[in-house]
Structure 1
Amino acid sequence: MPLSRRTFLGGGLAAAAVAVTGTPLLSGCASDKKNQAAANLAVKLPTYQRYTGVKPDLPGTDLVLDGFLKYPANPIRAITEKPGDGQPITFMTNIPGAIPPAADKNAFWQALNERLGSELQISMASNDEYSNKFATRVAGGDLPDVINIPPSTVQIPGLLKAKCLDLTEHLSGDAVKKYPFLANIPTEYWKGCVYNGGIYAVPVPRGMSRTSLPLYRSDLLAAKGIDNPAPKNFEEFLALCQELTAAKQNRWAWTRVPLAYIRQMLGLPNGYAEDGGKFTAMVEHEANTDALEAARKMFAAGVVNPDTFSAAGSARKQWFNGGTAVFDLDSFVAWNQYYADSTAGDSFGVNMLDVPGFSGGEGKPWMGAALNNITAFNKSSKHSAETLLKVANWMAAPFGTEEYLFRKYGVAGRHYELKGTDPVPTKVGVVETGIGLQYISDSALSLYWAGKPAVPQNQHKIQQKIAPRLVFDASYGLYSDTLSKDGARINGVLTDLENQIMQGKKPVSAWAPAVKTWLSAGGDKIKAELGQAFSDAAGR
């Protein structure tokens, strides 16, 4: 039963799962939900045991990431045995870049298989296409051994229970120490892996590394004599964007309208806010009208690429890398990815803008999503849970180890050249290594770019600056059945309206009645369910 992205996000996956498993993804019984919430709270999360084998040049905190000015000399090979069992292991994932050469034409992939001791067979799709592919595979009952599950997946609990291994006995408490690099993932990230009264997945951690602010082409700004852009309010920010736009020369300030950034200027909540156990959604905040009016003003001023509303995310990234746009609203992960994808040579430079208050002072940056995805293991896999966890542990070996060096950079002489102790990727390396291993498991990001110590220094500097002002999403780790089933659909209506308003096709005054409809269509129920989950957690 093929599914479109719209039917998948709108609940089609739930119907598909009934066809595949014979049961709904999640029972609608209130007592079942309450019992499940209690069972989830009883789960003992994996013990955090920080890896101390590598010392950072720029030490982090519980929020700021560790930074390294160069790759450590003589990196430690931390895992001596091959994690695989000799049999092929299948995996499906999204990838952020172009589809790389197949395994038979990819020296990195071949070397990986040798190191793992099992052939890793990967089914890939671009970021833009992965939701469709994932939905179709679920609907067809055709799931691999290792499954990259997006956090937005409809009714995750039922999917995990029906199709995936319960990993609790292998990971709960001190049991995780058998897999030391999974134990090196902080406890906070494991909260998003607990469903059905057990630990059903391995986290792919992000957090601060996914915090998104305006990335800018520092080389293009420097060419205009701007070395340290620091607008003090929205009007100065808009004036800077106008200065950087030259439509006749096919250059615009922005890849897209930075509505989320404007909302941070205005101090709006990050997703959901909690006060006294009651939840409110960001979309309810009265300052949304100011944010939408400012966003509409930006688009009308012509500082955004006019094709933005019809372009895919991959096209916007190409605009930024190619110099068609100067700004892109994205994360520290994207910051590094832009360097990986750049073909502009040594002149290419990226930096990040802080967020000012809309009318002055300081804005409130939103902390990035805790997880990129969770990775579950197929209940029908012929591999043992221990084998698949060993592979995930190998993928999570942190910066400074020999395993990390290979996983991220490949084989010396083909995929990278050493400059001092730094692995500098070759063009072949960029192409062949992009096979999505980071979505099986990963360590927390370290701030580093080979041969360019200014990159981690700039990243560490902006993280230190924004850390005290970060706003967190209060809904993280709390499950709402309505949000899972209907959130994408009802949120999609508001997103469509935002796009219409920003293009001037609908008035800003259309927002308030749309939010009332959103509340009655499920928003009020979502808030109530989050409040109940919060109350249950508080009473643990």
Structure 2
Amino acid sequence: MSYLHQPINRRTLLSGVTALAAGSLLAGCGDDSAARNDNSSKANKDVKLPAYLPSTVVKPDLPPDANGLLAAFLAYPSPPPQQFTAPPLKGGTVSAFVLTGSPVPPPKGNNPFWQELDRRLGVDLQLTITPSAEMATKFSTLITGDDLPDLIVPALFLPNGVPAGIGNLPQWMATKCTDLTPHLSGDAIKEYPNLANIPSAAWRQCVYNGGIYGLPVHRGVAGTLMFKRDDLIAKLGVDPEPKSFAEFRDFCRKVTDAKANRWAIVNAGGLMHLIQQMVGAPNGWRWEGGKLTNVVETEEFRQALSDVVALYKDGVVHPDSFANNAPVKRWFNAGEALLTADRYTAWPQFYAENIAGPDFAISGMRPPKYDGGGWAPTWQSGAGSINNFTVFKKADEGRIKDLLKLCDYLAAPFGTQEWLFRRYGQEGTHYTMQNGGPVSTQAGASQTVLGIRYIVDAPDTIFIPGRPQASQASYDYQKSIIDTSVPDPTVANGLFSDEWSRKQPVLGGLVLNGQNDIIAGRQPLSHLDEVIKNWRAQGGDKVRTEFTEQLQTLQ
């Protein structure tokens, strides 16, 4: 795992944001909270997850499978079926603390989409919408004040893009949040069919203290991949599918032309991610022979880093890649770089923002085995892969049921009228249909980004609006890698380490900074020994111990 491209999962979600946030949680829990908190792996393993009842409202063009391959749609269903004939609630107010990665939308008084959403939900939806870069500070303030909204999306991202969370999260949830197990476990979830449509693996990431404490936002297991500009590569006449590291290095050299303002890849982090898979490095952690080893401690990591140093010296990496907030997506779309590592969810965004016109075409580059002889296994992004989960503040049973009804509406599946409205707004005002897909208007782009998709969402699907061939390409890539993808054992087993939740940003920063210093030539490769030593001393060894103890109990 390159610390420049960390997947979002249960471990990284819970990374400690700041001492202030962690301290606030401790202060709010009370002295007796630890006695109520049983977050042992055994207690969590015994929780009966919600029954999985796949929706049959809409049939996909390309089917999913049990291993995590997502359903795909080549066009939005027309006409889309309507699920709800009446609002889920009948008045009142619901408050929620949510994030957004987009500019904050207009307030409700100047936002027709928000007003129509209230009407369709049957409630006055009061949202505290926070930019992701401000989540750590705002969440800390929220906890300090102890004035919690009904629905809470915990802080996810630090300003530098490293995932962030809260220390002592299980303890805090046991005291301040609702255990949703009676409402969701087993067949109880059938009362909320759209929530029952979320695959079971995603719910495992919401289990704490021997109960279900949140609603997941489901994402596929395909995770981060190496995107390539097929349209430009074809014009250069090079093989788009290198079969070994040597062929990949040759590819990078051939497509790079500094005089033409074109480099092989946007940054060295993407190279680390790809080459670690080529050499067989573990995805996060390796559990073997009763021993747990972090990827940074392995010889495979050292080998990958050595190769990235060589590629960087070759000049195949964009020269401005180490700049703060480097516009890597813009470089990729502009053709300044032909490769970029990103989540599979970026596929539609690249097409929506492309400036190359109708010839623009991208796909995923599979990592070959280092010395050739086939394809290397890829890394899964997580077990059931969630971006985040949403907790409910403590409330009476009637209130919790109302909130679950609202969330059931927000989880309406892809292909329905409700999903289309929730994501794109009203046709004519917020979007237009073009070539079988919705295209946002300026009003839609500004008004619809309320952050409600981070409260809960329908299971993810593959769909690139207006580009059926791109949807097919995305589906084909996932189908080719899912069956051989490799999970992180700590994530796949739903483990929780409080030390990891506090120290992961610090530990990740140690590795990232050391890795960058070596790649940029500021330190020799031998500097990695010091990085590993500091990583272990500053918390890595303790994290290993906490995870190991849990893995041993599950054997």
Instruction: Indicate the residue corresponding to 2:305 in structure 1.
Output: 292
What is the TM-score normalised by the length of structure 1? 0.89
> How large is the Cα RMSD of the aligned pairs?
2.8
Q: 1:49 to 1:93 in 2, by over 3 A?
A: same
Equivalence for 2:109: 104
Over 3 Å counting, the alpha-carbon distance change for 1:391 and 1:221 in structure 2 is farther
Check whether the contact 2:105–2:449 (CA below 8 A) recurs between aligned residues: yes
1:371 Cα deviation from its structure 2 partner: 1.2
Amino acid at match of 2:528: W
Does the aligned pair in 1 maintain the 2:37–2:170 contact within 8 Å?
no
Q: Which amino acid aligns with 1:352?
A: G
TM-score scaled by structure 2? 0.87
Alignment of 1:218-229 (within 5 A): 218-225=230-237, 229=240
Deviations 1:191-237 (A, max 9, x none): 1111122111001111325x1111123333344345x6111222322
Answering whether residue 205 of structure 2 is matched by residue 192 of structure 1, we say yes
Provide structure 2 residue ranges, at least 5 long, that are not aligned to the other structure.
Answer: 1-14, 157-162
2:84 paired with 1:79: yes
Per-residue CA deviations over 1:494-523 (Å, capped at 9, x if unaligned) read 222112111111111121343234234332
SS in 1 for 2:128: strand
Partner AA of 1:73 in structure 2: S
Does 1:54 find its partner at 2:58?
Answer: yes
Is the CA contact 1:214–1:329 (under 8 Å) kept in the aligned structure 2?
Answer: yes
Aligned residue among 385, 392, 401 for 2:400: 385
193 and 221 in structure 1: CA distance in 2 versus 1, 3 angstrom threshold: same
Task: Say whether 1:334 aligns with 2:343.
Answer: no
Do the aligned residues in 1 keep the contact of 2:181 with 2:213 (CA within 8 Å)? Answer: yes
Instruction: Return closer, same or farther for 1:251/1:196 CA change in 2, 3 Å cut-off.
Output: same
Range with greater deviation from structure 2 (398-407 or 144-153) = 144-153
State how far apart, in whole Å, the 2-side matches of 1:35 and 1:98 are.
37
Shift of 1:389: 1.4
1:30-69 to 2 correspondences below 5 Å? 36-62=40-66, 63-69=68-74
- Is the alpha carbon distance of 1:343 and 1:273 closer, same or farther for their aligned partners in structure 2, counting shifts above 3 Å? same
Name 1:463's counterpart in structure 2: 478
* Structure 2: distance between partners of 1:335 and 1:156: 33
Shift in Å, 1:472: 0.5
The one-letter code matched in structure 2 to 1:162 is: T
**CA distance 1:276–1:508, change in 2 (3 Å):** same
Gap change, CA 1:8 and 1:470, over 3 Å in 2: closer
Structure 1 distance, partners of 2:229, 2:338, is 5
CA distance in 2, matches of 1:457, 1:340: 16
Contact 2:227 2:342 in 1 (8 A): yes
Unaligned runs of 5+ in 1: 1-6
CA contact (8 A) 1:9 1:489 kept: no
> How high is the sequence identity, in percent, across the aligned residues?
38
Q: Distance in 1 between matches of 2:142 and 2:261?
A: 41
Is the Cα–Cα contact under 8 Å of residues 245 and 252 in structure 1 kept in the other structure?
A: yes
Contact preservation (8 Å) 1:45, 1:191: yes
Superposition deviation, residue 277 in structure 1? 4.5
CA distance in 1 between partners of 2:436 and 2:184 (Å): 35
In 1, Cα distance between equivalents of 2:193 and 2:543:
37
Contact 2:309–2:520 (CA<8 Å) still a contact in 1? yes
Counterpart of 2:95 in structure 1 is 90
Which region of structure 1 is more displaced relative to structure 2, 85-94 or 480-489?
85-94
* CA–CA separation in structure 1 for the residues paired with 2:127 and 2:496: 30
Q: Give the alignment of 1:412-427 within 5 angstroms.
A: 412-419=427-434, 421-427=436-442
Residues 413-440 of structure 1 deviation map (CA, whole Å, 9 limit, x = unaligned): 1222234653333344334333322211
Matched, 1:256 2:256: no
